């Protein structure tokens, strides 16, 4: 078995601790703010639409499609639904790598990984 010097052990421990800290911090952000689903800021001056917006709620919208209510929308569990996200929706206009505008939900920007029941395939 390979032996590590004390210096190598410390270096690897620091790298591991930093990595875990970053991952843990990111997860904490997501857990604390469910609308912060991606690590890209919305374009300047624009805010993500709230999932509590009445229209968003009526359409079962979530900024992260994985948070869909699968009891209300069981079709979302089908394998072919995997790529049904805002980024692939005809109503979506990309603004940056993480966000875009939706023609239906106009109170804020939507995540590229979002979904609502009005989803329709982009041609
Ligand atoms: S209509 Fe399309 S782009 Fe708009 S929120 Fe629903 S899935 Fe996303």
Q: Is 65 in the pocket of ligand 1 (CB under 6 A)?
A: no
Q: What is the pLDDT of residue 48?
A: 97
Distance from Cα 115 to the centre of ligand 1, integer Å: 6
Instruction: Give the strand order in the sheet containing 110-111.
Output: 92-94, 99-102, 110-111
39 — pLDDT class (breaks 50, 70, 90): confident
Among 58, 103, 105, the mutation site with the greatest number of ligand 1 atoms within 8 A of its Cβ is 105
Give the domain ranges of the chain. Answer: 1-32, 36-123
Q: How far apart are the first and last CA of the chain?
A: 57
CATH number belonging to the domain at 36-123, selected among 4.10.490.10, 3.50.50.60, 3.30.70.1140, 3.40.50.410: 4.10.490.10
Measured from the Cα of 114, ligand 1's closest atom is 8
**Model confidence pLDDT, tens digit, residues 51-109:** 999 999 999 999 999 999 999 999 999 999 999 999 999 999 999 999 999 999 999 99
Q: Do the Cβ atoms of 101 and 49 come closer than 8 Å? A: no
Q: Do the Cβ atoms of 35 and 94 come closer than 8 Å? A: no
């Amino acid at each position: 078995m390979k032996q590590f010097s004390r210096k190598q052990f410390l270096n690897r421990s620091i790298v591991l601790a930093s990595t875990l800290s970053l991952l843990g911090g990111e997860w904490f952000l997501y857990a604390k703010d469910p609308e912060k689903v991606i690590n890209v800021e919305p374009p300047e001056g624009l805010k993500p639409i709230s999932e509590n917006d009445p229209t968003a709620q009526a359409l079962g919208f979530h900024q992260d499609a994985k948070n869909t209510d699968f009891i209300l929308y069981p079709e979302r569990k089908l394998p072919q639904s995997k790529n049904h996200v805002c980024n692939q929706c005809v109503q979506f206009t990309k603004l940056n790598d993480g966000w875009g505008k939706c023609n239906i939900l106009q109170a804020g920007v939507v995540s590229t990984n979002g979904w609502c029941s009005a989803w329709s395939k982009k041609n």
